Structures are given as structure tokens and as C-alpha cells.
Amino acid sequence: MGEKITSYMVAKRAGVSQSAVSRVFKPGSSVSEKTARKVRKAAEELGYRPNTLARAMASGRSRIIGLVVAYFENQFYPEAIEKLANTLQANDYHVLMFMSWDETEAPETVINDLLDYQVDGIIAASVGVTDVLTKRCEAAGIPVMLFNRHQNDDKLSAVTSDNFTGGRKLAEFLVRGGHERIAHVAGWDGASTQRDREAGFLSGLAAHGMTLFARSCGNFHRDQAQEAARVLLRAEVRPDAIFVSNDHMAFAVMDVIRSEFKLRIPEDISIVGYDDVAMSEWPCFDLTTVRQPTNRMAEETVRILLQMIENEESLPCRIALDGPLVVRGSARLPVDE
Amino acid sequence: MGEKITSYMVAKRAGVSQSAVSRVFKPGSSVSEKTARKVRKAAEELGYRPNTLARAMASGRSRIIGLVVAYFENQFYPEAIEKLANTLQANDYHVLMFMSWDETEAPETVINDLLDYQVDGIIAASVGVTDVLTKRCEAAGIPVMLFNRHQNDDKLSAVTSDNFTGGRKLAEFLVRGGHERIAHVAGWDGASTQRDREAGFLSGLAAHGMTLFARSCGNFHRDQAQEAARVLLRAEVRPDAIFVSNDHMAFAVMDVIRSEFKLRIPEDISIVGYDDVAMSEWPCFDLTTVRQPTNRMAEETVRILLQMIENEESLPCRIALDGPLVVRGSARLPVDE
DNA sequence: CTGAAAGCGCTAACAG
DNA sequence: CTGTTAGCGCTTTCAG
């Protein structure tokens, strides 16, 4: 069992050449309706399916996209990956997953694996792409897209949400809510998302003549975020609001505030996050946050990547999509004037 | 840019035949140390890397495993997938992701894609594998593993946790906690996990001469679980404990209980779940549950699959791994006697 | 141990 | 539009 049906066998049965069969299965080829019918019939009867690998080999296009990920812990990524994979699938591409151990560096071996598989393109989500990766991919002519991150490298295309503006919106909102001691639990400083969100936030505060009351770093990890929250709350004077750099850490912070410090949210302290992952809406958290437009981000990422694959000359581009402030119950509301 | 370095080029530079190069890069081939050194040196200088696709083509082994998934909404799956991907990667295999839209059926097109890519094996997580898939894969000689599900089909290998025993443990625990009106929020009946957990739970109750006080179905989805909870709680007489079929739904149920019915957990009602996903430990939920040994499940799944790939004759096998009851604060504790 | 030669299954010019 | 002819880059007998 498991006898492979080749295009050659189909050709013989249909009484045409092997290349005719190939053409019938390649969208956009010129074949007469008559030949196509014969071929399709024979293929059907034999249960023929074109071999993607052979096709990749011969054409130099694998229709495989390498997706480099890490940090599934943060719900945002599973959600995003699901959408990326679906969008890619709708375009007849598929995702080869590469787990990267380290947030700061895509190890040499992952890059090698990626290249060895002759992927047509790469999407890097949540990994700092090292120069090495960039250079090797450029040399190999493989386009790279950064998802939810950008780097100073001009040759890299990136899709993010507009983190600066989002941060600013959050600051506006807290200030209008009458908060006076606004603190920040930051993520990893190496990430552009962190830097942009914080910069936007600070600029929002500055616009009202305010500055950060306190700052503590959670590095985007739950346990570190909890520790960061403890530091903030053990202080002589406590903040009356905290902007946590992503929802994932915000949940951690909220847990600490309620279970360890017995404070109420938002009566005693307001919390806002960033991402709007599914859980943020759950009554237990009911988190005010900025939504990342994951669907559109995935669509744009795929669109740009495919364009780069099809059109060698297309220039790298960086896109920042706007996301709305989602007001829920975790932060005191502005008093309408 | 992007000039491909082939084994032939390496061969020329090293002054050996192309097949010599091939042998050097194939683990376990017989090459003299001298040749190997020359080849490795030339390869290094040229920056040569073997082309996985060409290798797949020639050898008939792609080292690609198709992973069919859906339902990322439930944290259990991202966690499991991460582990599966890592384990596979450690064995020099990689994961091609296939998103399946429908929980009940792996659509025709997914199967085709899978087969077209010449995957060496398939892991189906969270999809009811239709007979079609099974048959086609068998015909193609591709081994299939079910992850966290089993089917009546004897030809399919499956790795699950011991859901029956787990369900039983939960029943024991609730009974010993003195609960008298024990209800169940069920998942999708088409899933073996649901049937096994419930059967074990019922048998546990029966052992103490008890039966289910009420039952309502949430189909493993958050919104349906919430509705199921409402039905249970709007009844004349409310349950004093609920076994929810997985943690994902348990969170939904807890949210409804607290925010809509203003009841306290566990003072007014006890909740237990199943899976022990990361969130279950969060103070906000602090859920008593049965742990699925995800790491071991992933390891076993990979081990068996690779064995089937390497050894055509290895028989299908079904494994159910034991998982511990994890006691936290969401259910009243048994009074020690 | 090593080289030569024959493919793996398909695509892509190239004539016709 | 169609068949012929080369490969894609590697593995794998098979002699030597």
C-alpha cells in the first residue's frame, strides 16, 4: 500500500504528455478544455495529487512560510498565530513552525533549519531577530517580516499596531480619570513594543504636565510582573493607577493587588493594559486596554510578505495599524464635564 | 545574491565526488575521516547547507509532521502544541501547521494539503478525525497519532491522560468534601475526553451511592459553558458543586457564578475542572483540577509516532497517562476524619 | 571506502 | 496548445 501516483501515470492513462498533466494542475496555464477534462478524469480515477515537494524542488518555491515563535504563555501569540496560519492557508501557503528558546536571540540552529527547508519567507513573531538572521536571509534572498515588532534595520518589513498612539490614549484616559500618581509596569526594553508604548504614554502624561510616578520592570513575564507590582505597592506612597505594558502582565499585577494587598480595582487603584486578548473581557479581569487589531495585522503581514515573495523588487515597508481604546471596569472613569 | 551552494560545488572544491559530500552529511554513513574533513572544510568555506526538500524528494522522507489543530481558545492546546513542536524539533522533525475550521470534521481540503506535502506523519489534536482521513492516510502509508483524543478505530494510535480515573478522583474529592448536589457542565459529547471524564466521574459518585444532581452541556466553548451554568443556577434548587469538563469552561462558569449570581466560591458552591492549564493556578481562579501531564503526553506522542515512521510494522497503540488531582481553593476541602 | 549513474516527481523553456 | 527535453539537489544502488 501507499503506491505513489505520479503525473506520469496520469498522463499515460489520459493519453497525453506528462507536462500536460503538470499544466492542468498549475493554475493559470494554457490548456485546452478537452485535455484538461481528460486529465482530470484520469487523475480522479487514479486518485492523483500533485506532490508539493517535487513541485517546490522544480520550481524553487516551496509555498512554505517559516514562523518563528516563542512565548506562547502570552495569549496574544496563540491568537495571532492562529490568524496568520489561517490567512496563509487561504493563500495556499503553509506554516512551518520553529520554536525559538530565547526571547532575545533566534539561535543559530533555528536559522539553519529555516534555511534548510527552503522556506519562501519568514515571519518572526516575538523574537528579536538578530543581525545574523537578517544577513543570512538577505543573502539567501528570503524576505523576512517582523510581526508585532520592528527594528532599526531599514531592510526589514514590519507590521505592528500604533503602539505610540495607543500608549498616549491610555495616558489621556488615566489623566482624565483624575489619577495623580501614575505608575508603569514595563515589559522588556529590548522590544520596540515596550519602547513605543512607554514613549507614547510618557508623551501623553507630559501633555498634561505630568510625569511617571514610579516605574518597575516585568519583562513581559508573569512572575516578574508580579514582583514589579509588589515593589510598587510596598512603597511608602502607592500609585493610584498603573499602566501595565501588556494584558498578560496586567493579569498578574491585578492578581497581586487583590490577593496579596487586598486592594480593590478600580476603587483603590486603576489598572490598564495593552493588547485586548480574549481574557481581558472576562468579568474576572474586565480590563481597560488598547486593542491590537490582530486580524488586520495578520492580513497585512501576509499581504506584504507574499508581495515580497512574488515581486523581488518590492521595498521593505513598515506599517503601524491603529487600535482603539477599550474601556472596561478596571480603571476609574473620567468624570464627564 | 541568493546563489545556491550545492553539494556538487562542495564536491568539486573538496576534490571528491558529489556522493561523498552527501554521505558526509548523512549521519551514520561510512566515510573516511580524511574525506569527511576535506568535505566539511569545503562546505564551511562555501557556506553549504544540505537542501532539506531535495533530500526529502530523493529519500522519500520529508521530516515534516503535519499538525492538525483548531480551538486555540483553550489554553491547553497552545501549551501542548508548544511542547509537541519542541519535542519534534529536538528529534530533527518539524511541524507544518494545519488549521482546521471545524471541531467535528477535518475538511477534505486539509487532508489533501497534508498529503500533498508528503508529511511523514500526522498528529491530530482536537479534531475528530473522520474516517476519510484515516483511510486516505492508511492508503498513503502515513501514520496518524491522536493527541488528547481516541477513537474506536483500532488502527489509530492515541495518547491521552487517564480521563476516566481523573474523573473518578474528582468525584471522590467532592463527595468527601460533603457535597450533596453535584452537577456537571459537560463538553462536547463527540469527544472521548468528555465521555471518559464523565464516565469516571459518574462511577466515582456511584461508588458512594450518589448520582448526578444535574447536567448541562457547554460543548467546550466559553459562551455555551456560561449559558450552561446559568441554567444550573437558575434552578429551584441549586447544586452545591459543579464538575466542569475542562478548565477553560470552568473559568467561564466561575465568572458567571461570581459576577451574575453573586455567589462565593467555594463557600456557596464548589467548582472543579480538568486540565490544569497555567491559568488555573492564578489566584483569581485558584482552581482545583486534574492535571494533564502535557509534557509526558507530548513526549509519548512523538516517541510513538517516530517509531511508527521508522518501523512500518509497529502496531497502533493507545496510551493513557495518569495525572494527579491538584487541590486548590475552588472547592470545599474534605473534612479530615 | 568511494565514484558513477540512475532516479525522486515535477516545472519550465523550447520547438513544433 | 502540446510534446520533448533538461534539469531542481540530493540519495542510493552498484561496481570498483
Residues 6+ apart with CB under 8 A from B92: B63
pLDDT of A128: 67
Tell if the CB–CB gap between A141 and B116 is shorter than 8 Å: no
By the CB < 8 Å criterion, does A98 face chain B?
A: yes
Chain C footprint positions (protein CB, under 7 Å): 1-5, 7-13
DSSP B147: E
Torsion of CA B200, B206, B210, B216, to 10 degrees: 30
What percent of chain A has pLDDT above 70? 95
pLDDT of B1: 52
- Calculate how close chain A gets to B232, using CA atoms only, in Å: 19
- Residues B168, B320: Cα–Cα separation, whole Å: 15
pLDDT of A112: 83
Instruction: Compute CA distances B99 → A84, A95, A174, B298, whole Å.
Output: 10, 10, 40, 19
What percent of chain B has pLDDT above 90? 77
pLDDT of A103: 56
Mean pLDDT, chain B, as a whole number?
A: 92
Tell if the CB–CB gap between B118 and A259 is shorter than 8 Å: no
pLDDT of B139: 82
- Residues A74, A288: Cα–Cα separation, whole Å: 17
Domain ranges for chain B, please list them: 7-50, 62-161+294-321, 163-292
- Residues B309, B143: Cα–Cα separation, whole Å: 7
Look at residue B7 and tell me whether its pLDDT is greater than 90: yes
To which residue does cell 477534462 refer? A37
Look at residue B127 and tell me whether its pLDDT is greater than 80: no
Instruction: Compute CA distances A287 → A271, A273, A281, B17, whole Å.
Output: 7, 7, 6, 65
CATH topology of domain B62-161+294-321: Rossmann fold (3.40.50)
**Nearest nt to the A4 alpha carbon by C1':** C9
Residues B147-165 have a mean pLDDT of: 91
- Residues B127, B191: Cα–Cα separation, whole Å: 9
Strand C atom within 7 Å of A118 CB: no
Residues B194-213 have a mean pLDDT of: 97
Banded model confidence at residue A211, pLDDT cuts 50, 70, 90: very high
pLDDT tens digits, B209-248: 999 999 999 999 999 999 999 999 999 999 999 999 999 9
pLDDT of B81: 94
- Calculate how close chain A gets to B223, using CA atoms only, in Å: 11
pLDDT tens digits, A14-32: 999 999 999 999 988 788 8
Same fold, B62-161+294-321 and B163-292: yes
Tell if the CB–CB gap between B138 and A1 is shorter than 8 Å: yes
Chain B CB contacts of A283 under 8 Å are 255, 258-259
Banded model confidence at residue A69, pLDDT cuts 50, 70, 90: confident
Look at residue A1 and tell me whether its pLDDT is greater than 60: no
Look at residue A215 and tell me whether its pLDDT is greater than 80: yes
Tell if the CB–CB gap between A97 and B99 is shorter than 8 Å: no
Residues A140-159 have a mean pLDDT of: 89
Nearest CA in chain B to A254: B284
Residues B246-253 have a mean pLDDT of: 98
Look at residue A111 and tell me whether its pLDDT is greater than 90: no
Residues B100-126 have a mean pLDDT of: 80
pLDDT of B69: 87
Q: Using H for helix, E for strand and C for coil, what is the string for B19-56?
A: HHHHHHHCCCCCCCHHHHHHHHHHHHHHCCCCCHHHHH
Look at residue B337 and tell me whether its pLDDT is greater than 60: no
By the CB < 8 Å criterion, does A132 face chain B?
A: no
Look at residue B295 and tell me whether its pLDDT is greater than 60: yes
Residues 6+ apart with CB under 8 A from A165: A200, A322
Banded model confidence at residue B105, pLDDT cuts 50, 70, 90: low
Residues A158-166 have a mean pLDDT of: 97
Asked if residue B73 lies in contact with residue B45, where contact means CB atoms within 8 angstroms, the answer is no
Look at residue B313 and tell me whether its pLDDT is greater than 70: yes
Residues B31-35 have a mean pLDDT of: 88
CATH number of B163-292: 3.40.50.2300
Which stretch of A90-99, B160-169, B258-267 has the lowest confidence by average pLDDT? A90-99
pLDDT tens digits, A287-320: 999 999 999 999 999 999 999 998 877 888 999 9
- Calculate how close chain A gets to B208, using CA atoms only, in Å: 35
Across the strands, what pairs with B313? none
The CB-based long-range contact list for A259-262 (8 Å cut-off, 24+ gap) reads: A259/B283, A259/B284, A260/A230, A260/A233, A261/A233
* Grid cell listed for A144: 523576512
Residues 6+ apart with CB under 8 A from B52: A116, A117, A118, B62, B63
Tell if the CB–CB gap between B113 and A99 is shorter than 8 Å: no
By the CB < 8 Å criterion, does B94 face chain A?
A: yes
Residue contacts between A and B (CB atoms, under 8 Å) = 123
Mean pLDDT, chain A, as a whole number?
A: 92
Q: What share of chain B is helix, strand, coil (3-state, %, to 5)?
A: 45, 15, 40
pLDDT of A141: 86
Strand C atom within 7 Å of A18 CB: yes
- Residues A275, A249: Cα–Cα separation, whole Å: 11
Of B89, B142, B255, the CB nearest to A282: B255
Chain A CB contacts of B278 under 8 Å are 73
Look at residue B102 and tell me whether its pLDDT is greater than 70: no
- Residues A105, B102: Cα–Cα separation, whole Å: 36
Residues A88-110 have a mean pLDDT of: 79
Tell if the CB–CB gap between A97 and B97 is shorter than 8 Å: yes
pLDDT of A107: 64
Chain D footprint positions (protein CB, under 7 Å): 1-5, 7-13
pLDDT tens digits, B255-286: 999 999 999 999 999 999 999 999 999 999 99
Residues 6+ apart with CB under 8 A from B194: B186, B187, B188, B220, B245
CA angle B306, B312, B315 (to 5 degrees): 85
Name the residue with higher pLDDT: A34 or B294: B294
Residue A88: Cβ within 10 Å count: 25
